[in-house]
Amino acid sequence: MASLTVTLTEAITLNNRDQGATTRVTISSIDEIFKRIVTCPANNETTIARFRSSVGNVSGAVAYDSALDVQDVKYIRVTNLDGSNDLKLSLQIDVGEDDTGADMSATILLEAGNSFMMGSPEDGIGIEDDAASLVTNLVDLDSLVVQPGSNAIDVELFVASD
C-alpha cells in the first residue's frame, strides 16, 4: 500500500504581491490506480469510467474492461488534454444505488486544459431537480461520460483505490 499525495498550486502575482496558494492532501492506503488517456470521438458520448458495487457487476458495451469498485475508489481526476476545445463532462448518478445504471445526471463544462477532481464516488454526489436547495442526501456516482462536441478530444482519467 502507498499514499497518494495530490498538490494543487495556483501561481499569480497581483500588484507585486504573491496571491497564489498551494493545497496538498494525502490519501492513504492506496493499492490500485487506473490511469489512461481516452480519445473521445467528435459528436459522440464516450463513457470513460463506470462504478459498481462489485467490479464484476457491469453490463453493456463500454470502452474499458471492467467497472471500478465504488466502495474502494478514493480519488478521481479527469483532465481535458485539448489545448483549445472544451468538453462536457456528465456525472451519471445512481440515485437508487442498485447498480442498474444512472437515474439522473449533472453536466459540467470542462474547458481546454482544465481538470475535474473528486474524492469517493460512494455517497459522493447528490442532485435535486425541483428546488434550488442544498442536497444533503448523497448517493453513488454511476459513471463519467464525455461529450466532446464537434472535435475529437483526448482526456486523461486517473483513479486511485484501496
pLDDT in tens, 110-162: 999 999 999 999 999 998 877 778 888 999 999 999 999 999 999 999 999 99
Please report which confidence band the pLDDT of residue 24 belongs to, taking 50, 70 and 90 as the band edges.
very high
In a domain, 12, yes or no: no
Residue 42 contacts residue 149 (beta carbons within 8 Å): yes
CATH code of residue 47: 2.60.120.770
The pTM score is: 0.90
- Using the predicted structure, report yes or no on whether residue 45 has a pLDDT greater than 70: yes
Residues written for the chain: 162
Segments of 32-124 assigned E as strands? 32-40, 46-52, 68-69, 73-80, 87-94, 104-110, 115-118
Domain count, the chain: 1
Cell matching residue 114: 482544465
In a domain, 35, yes or no: yes
Range of the domain at 91: 29-161
> Looking up cell 458495451, which residue turns up?
61
